[in-house]
Amino acid sequence: MRINLTSVFVDDQEKAQRFYTDVLGFVKKHDVPLGGEDRWLTVVSPEDPDGTELLLEPDKHPAVKPYTTALVEDGIPAAAFAVDDVRAEFDRLSKLGVRFTQEPTEMGPVTTAVLDDTCGNLIQIMHNGG
């Protein structure tokens, strides 16, 4: 058994596609119309195109909004991504206008930061070490 897909709920798939590709730097893997406006939309890391896919899932279910609102209020990320250097990513993304709710911080064995994906979620980025 292995983890090949995980998902975040997004309030707008078009906007999410732009943020996760143009800003974060992932690449689109699958884009399948599901009827209506909804798509089966996944992205992968260009460093690992056959790796775990991230599904950008529509947030239309009524349970989603209260869930994501409560998580964001407390600063809790919906997903975490590995980067080479959290501070370098913080600088790069800040220049692109990305809002961070937690600036780079050493947390024991890892360095982490938390950013807003503009589609309803907070995302943690991390690397091992200080």
Partner 1 sequence: MADDVFKALADPTRRRILDELTDRNGQTLFEICGRLVTRHGLGLSRQAVSQHLAVLESAGLVSTRREGRYKFHDLDTEPLEHIVGRWLGPKTPRTPKTPEGTP
CA dihedral 88→29→21→107, nearest 10 degrees, is -30
| Closest separation in Å from C-beta 116 to partner 1 | 8
Question: Which CB sits closer to partner 1, 62 or 108?
Answer: 108
Closest approach of partner 1 to the CB of residue 44, in Å: 27
Nearest approach, Cβ of residue 3 and partner 1 (Å): 23
Closest CB to partner 1 among 31 and 103?
103
Q: Give me the sign of the Cα torsion angle 4, 62, 120, 107.
A: negative
Q: Which is nearer to partner 1, 74 or 84 (CB)?
A: 74
**Which secondary-structure segment (H or E) carries 33?**
strand 27-33
Question: Cα separations (Å) of 121 from 21, 35, 72, 74, 91?
Answer: 16, 25, 7, 12, 20
Contacts with partner 1, residue ranges (CB under 8 A): 69, 72-77, 101-103, 105, 107-110, 112, 114
